[in-house]
Amino acid sequence: MVLKKIAENIWELEKEGKMNVPGVIFASDLLMESIKKDGKTLEQVKNVAQLPGIVDKSIAMSDAHQGYGFSIGGVAAFDLEKGVISPGGVGFDINCGVRLLSSNLKKEEFFQKRKEILNQLFRDIPSGVGKESEFSLDNKEIDRVLNEGVKWAVEKEYATSEDINHIEDNGCIIGADASKVSQKAKSRGRSQLGSLGSGNHFLEIQEIETIYDEKIAGIFGIMEKGQIVVMIHSGSRGLGHQIASDYIMKMENEYGFKNLPDRQLAFAPINSSLGKDYQAAMASAANFAFVNRQLITYQVRKVFQKFFSKSDLKIVYDIAHNIAKFEEHKVNGNKMTLCVHRKGATRSFGPGRKEIPIAYREFGCPIFIPGSMGTFSYVLVGTKKAEEISFGSTAHGAGRILSRSYAIKNFKIEEVEKELALYGVMLKTGSRKGALEEAPKAYKDVNEVARVSHELGIGQLVARLRPIAVVKG
């Protein structure tokens, strides 16, 4: 592979061999060093460039690291006629995403009851592998969740109409079809709505530490330093995982994988019957994930109301970072409808796009780049530049530099807790293993990741958030 730096924060993998397009990596010199050490990420960028119908370039974001098939931080767009859709380009946790809630509380108020609130949140919101919630649904109701998304939650009074207006796709992706989801997947998800899950999923209470753009911040409901906000990071739980597993097997059986550079890139043509079935199942899982984060929001609101009667938690935005979307983009000056895979990457649309909720359409799409527990998270806004160079995409988080197995073997829980205490962060977790896996040292520098997005113009900095209390699985 020939890797060369073609501009500040932009690297190119030259088109060679069976590659249909070049690879492009958006990274600083420092972040590129960690990407190279990974040993697999660049190879995955190259492999994706070999898929049929890929358009313009195979992309990796600054937080990129090895994933299943696609790198995590991978972006690729496909022509609708010749292109393919691949579960490896979406991920097992379909619509893993981030939701941010703004509050009318100040840091000083929250700190008076921090421990009590954290304990209550931990009790009320299940976290960890396989943990179930109080929202167990029958067959009819689970199908409604998959087909209707957050509209179902509004009807059940778990959400408001205002909530819907601040969620990507208004909390319901068109084309979802519960009949394309296996009973096994439904069974796995049935009792997991309203739960965080494990791994890097979290519920985090944060304070506004820095505001870079007061105008945009104000539009987002971020009003002043010291304001309390709540960040939720979760996805489609076991249901999404099972859908991915089901369709990977179906695609391998129908289309094979022997001619692929990596078996994990199993795909179906976009316009094939199987491709359309996967799209419908993926949309169903995405709707499930929107509802999952909505039910977590419902529980968070109840807890805050218990301790602060004046509490008012509003959704800033909810955005996916594991999804394939049909979007219009310009390629070589021509408008094209493309199937854009974002796997560990966030949509970054600039002002005017119809996909952006009306409240933000004039200004751009809200973006969240969370750090690891104990480190900063960032709010950004989408840009026209991102639409020009990255299919309207930017980074989704810090990105791992150390494997989970390495972290478990080499870190001690006492050291992690001490480090978090130094940061002023209170942690509540039911899993020692989970805390070790997600230790701050296992991740890239989120400040650098956010800086690269801002400097490249594929996301504009709005605010920086500091964690003060974390619930993890």
The confidence score (pLDDT) of residue 188 equals 95
- So which residues are the catalytic ones? 396
What is the domain partition of the chain in residue ranges? 3-86+93-472
pTM: 0.96
* Per-residue pLDDT tens digits for 84-99: 999 999 999 999 999 9
SS (H, E, C) the chain: CCEEEEECCEEEECCCCCCCCCEEEECCHHHHHHHHHHCCHHHHHHHHCCCCCECCCEEEEEEEECCCCCCEEEEEEEECCCCEECHHHCCCCCCCEEEEEEEEEEHHHHHCCHHHHHHHHHHHCCCCCCCCCCCCCCHHHHHHHHHHCHHHHHHCCCCCHHHHCCCHHHHCCCCCCHHHCCHHHHHHHCCCCCCCCCCCCEEEEEEEEEECCHHHHHHCCCCCCCEEEEEEEECCHHHHHHHHHHHHHHHHHHHCCCCCCCHHHCCEECCCHHHHHHHHHHHHHHHHHHHHHHHHHHHHHHHHHHHCCCCCCEEEEEEECEEEEEEEEEECCEEEEEEEEEECEEECECCCCCCCCCCCCCCCCEEEECCCCCCCEEEEECEHHHHHHCCCEEECCCCECCCHHHHHHHCCHHHHHHHHHHHCCEEEECCHHHHHHCCHHHECCHHHHHHHHHHHCCCEEEEEEEEEEEEEC
The confidence score (pLDDT) of residue 385 equals 98
Give pLDDT < 50 ranges for the chain: none
**Domain 3-86+93-472: top CATH class:** alpha beta
* Per-residue pLDDT tens digits for 419-465: 898 889 999 988 878 888 888 888 999 999 999 999 999 999 999 99
The confidence score (pLDDT) of residue 422 equals 87
The confidence score (pLDDT) of residue 166 equals 97
